[in-house]
Amino acid sequence: MMWREGEQIGQYQIMSQLGQGGMATVYKAYHAQLDRHVAIKVMHQTIQADEAFVARFRREAQIVASLTHPHIVPVYDFNDYNGQPYLVMKYVEGVTLKQRMIKTAMTLDDVLYVMRAVGSALTYAHSKGVLHRDVKPSNIVIDKDNVPYLADFGLARIAQAGESTLSADMLLGTPNYMSPEQASGKKNLDGRTDIYSLGIVLYELLVGQVPFSGDTPYAVIHDHIYTPLPSPSKINPEIPLSVETVLLKSTSKKPDERYATADEMIRDLDDAISESKLVELNPERASIASESLAQFREELADIPNASTSLSSSATPKTRTPTTPMTLSGYKTATIYEPPTRGRLWMVGGCAGFLVIFFVSLAVLLGASNNLLELGEILQRSSPSNMIVAMNPLSAPFVEAGVSINSEMGIPFYNIPPLPEEFALGILEELPQEATSYLIYARSVWETDAEKSYATIQQGKQYSDNPAVYFSSAAQVADQVQDYDAAIAYVILSFYEARRDTELQTAMRASAGEYLYTTAAKANNLNLGNTYIEIGVPEMYPAAELEVIGNLTQGLIVTAYNRILEGNPVLALAALNRIPEAENNSPEVLLVRAELALSRDADREASRILKGVEANDAAPDWIRERAKDLLKEHNLE
């Protein structure tokens, strides 16, 4: 509900709307008794249904209102109107730093003046235990007297009751200025996350452009986590090395390597400027930096292993871990390159090897009779029969008549992890079999999940059918109870099968049910962060990342997880992002019914569930679930 000009909100009369964002709308208002104008930021109406959010809003608003600093926009009041929480702040008449930068290139003196003010504000707030979490030029306001203010202090923390996704407006923080730890979804943030963001702002002011930009928020966040910072002096040759040192330290990927306080960062900046005798900045630096950054990205694309992914192009030579690469001081993940020939045994083909492997494994590990029987299954059964018996997630591929290659000839279900050395030997022997990578990933998953993700990422290039491959990866992840990764791999399997209508239909049964039931096992599921962790940006071009991030299956499982976590507002937000053409699918309707039940809207839930139960085209598991819910809630 929008507030209208002239409307009275408590003691404040609305004058005009100033702006609107993902979580709030800002109005200019007038307080008659105090004869002053104020800015009112009102949270969107959809939030009022979430009592936990409102309670958190009040707690955080009290903290923010306690901050008193000449360069922090003061909060005068906080309350709610018809259930909509709002903040009352000082009305700062002026422009944002972003607007100033667009209008004209700032001088060096102007840059230093703003940075000193903002740095002082951050140091003060951090000393009070308050983080900003969204330091960026559009949150720095310069009034008509040229006084800089840091605005929206603490609102990013208030928004943390929302969801940090890679494609929604409710993104916690802004991708271009977000610290790696914040982008990774880490909870225990401290002042150094704001130091990183301030360092990116300084980089933009001095060098001419932000270091990382891309077609999607996903790509930008990935770069903040993995890509080395483009050298300031190479992007803009006028940047002295002493100044570059300050920029590199403030934007280190590792929080421990950054400045402890913003004041310390600004002192070093002043010393660096003085030492270098830098007196002015090139007014054309933005266009110069734009060209240099484009060249940097082209060069980076040609560097093997420039991210945490395993090498996908180098010819395998040795199984010994290589020396970690270092780019601009950023250490990447250890790279394993399996050789083309190993120490195990030579085999005529992968199928024969797998029979020998599992029979030998049963003896070596003293496995149960079930595992011994597995050897007999391997010897007498076709791969398709074995998949149905041992890998439930793969049943739809068989039903749809998909040609199964050797990568699905491994029944991971309930197989104990192999010793890493043994699994690595298999990878040596069969370096171009996707199955080998899944075996090795399983062997190290419980001690080094990141290595498992990277191994699975590497194995995709050897897969004849990525949909089948990711279904297998999900099975392995489920076995080790890494449910977030399992869900992500199932969704990638859906994505890879997107052009096969028959296969998609078959997957809705077992794979669709798996997503639904596993949502209850995931803790505050954040698919955006999980996609980054398992290396999705390295496996797909940027144009496909947004599609993956908005797949209906992912939105459904996210919505259901939010319902189970007790956050119906975010559940509704996820459901509302589903394309209209898919809104009436049984899967979506089932979750909408669950959402209605969570809000005690029994009549709506009953109507939806009865429709689903009567839909003969719906998968059996959905109809059964609808029937159970009707009975459980006495809605029959």
Domain locations along the chain: 8-90, 94-301
Average pLDDT over residues 350-364: 39
Report whether pLDDT(381) > 60: no
The larger pLDDT score, comparing residue 340 to residue 56, is at 56
Percentage of residues of the chain with pLDDT beyond 90: 35
**More confident site: 459 or 198:** 198
Average pLDDT over the chain, rounded to an integer: 77
The residue ranking higher by pLDDT, 299 or 193, is: 193
The pLDDT value given to residue 328: 30
Average pLDDT over residues 166-184: 65
Task: Judge contact between 487 and 519, C-beta under 8 A.
Answer: yes
Specify the CATH superfamily of domain 8-90.
Answer: Phosphorylase Kinase; domain 1 (3.30.200.20)
Banded model confidence at residue 301, pLDDT cuts 50, 70, 90: low
425 versus 26: the higher-pLDDT residue is: 26
Catalytically annotated residue among 134, 152, 482, 484? 134
Is residue 464 part of the annotated active site? The answer reads no
Which pLDDT belongs to residue 410? 36
Higher pLDDT: 353 or 541? It is: 541
Closest CA to 192 of 121, 258, 139: 258
DSSP labels, 431-491: TT-HHHHHHHHHHHTTT-HHHHHHHHHHHGGG-S-HHHHHHHHHHHHHHTT-HHHHHHHHH
Pinpoint the alpha helices (H) of 96-173: 97-103, 108-127, 155-158
Could you tell me which CATH number the domain at 94-301 has?
1.10.510.10
Q: At residue 218, does pLDDT exceed 80?
A: no
Q: What pLDDT was estimated at residue 56?
A: 66
Question: Mean pLDDT across the stretch 460-478?
Answer: 85
Euclidean distance between CA atoms 472 and 440, whole angstroms: 13
Most confident of 14-28, 82-96, 133-147, 572-586: 133-147
C-alpha 139/C-alpha 151 separation (Å) is 5
Pick from 73-87, 241-255, 400-414, 565-579 the range whose average pLDDT is largest: 241-255
Q: Which of 480, 365, 340, 491 is nearest to 418 (CA)?
A: 365
* In the predicted structure, residue 157 carries a pLDDT above the cut 80: no
What pTM was computed for the model?
0.54
- 459 has pLDDT over 80: yes
Distance CA 559, CA 554 (A): 9
231: left (phi over 0), alpha (psi -120 to 50) or beta: beta
The winner for highest mean pLDDT among 349-353, 509-513, 550-554, 566-570 is: 550-554
142 pLDDT above the threshold of 80: yes
- Residue linked to tokens 């300050």: 246
What is the pLDDT, as a whole number, of residue 42? 84
Comparing 252-256, 391-395, 494-498, 504-508, which segment has the lowest mean pLDDT? 391-395
User: Using DSSP, how many helices (H) and how many strands (E) does the chain show?
Assistant: 29, 11
Reading the block at residue 112, the tokens are 């230093």
Give 396-423 pLDDT, tens digit per residue. 544 554 443 333 333 333 445 677 877 7
Confidence of residue 270 (pLDDT cuts 50, 70, 90): very high
Residue 407 is encoded by which pair of tokens?
């990568």
Tell me the one-letter amino acid at 103: K
Residue-level length of the chain: 636
Helix or strand holding residue 148 (H, E)? strand 148-150
Is residue 339 within 8 Å of 319, Cβ to Cβ?
Answer: yes
Name the least confident of 69-83, 211-225, 362-376, 604-618.
362-376
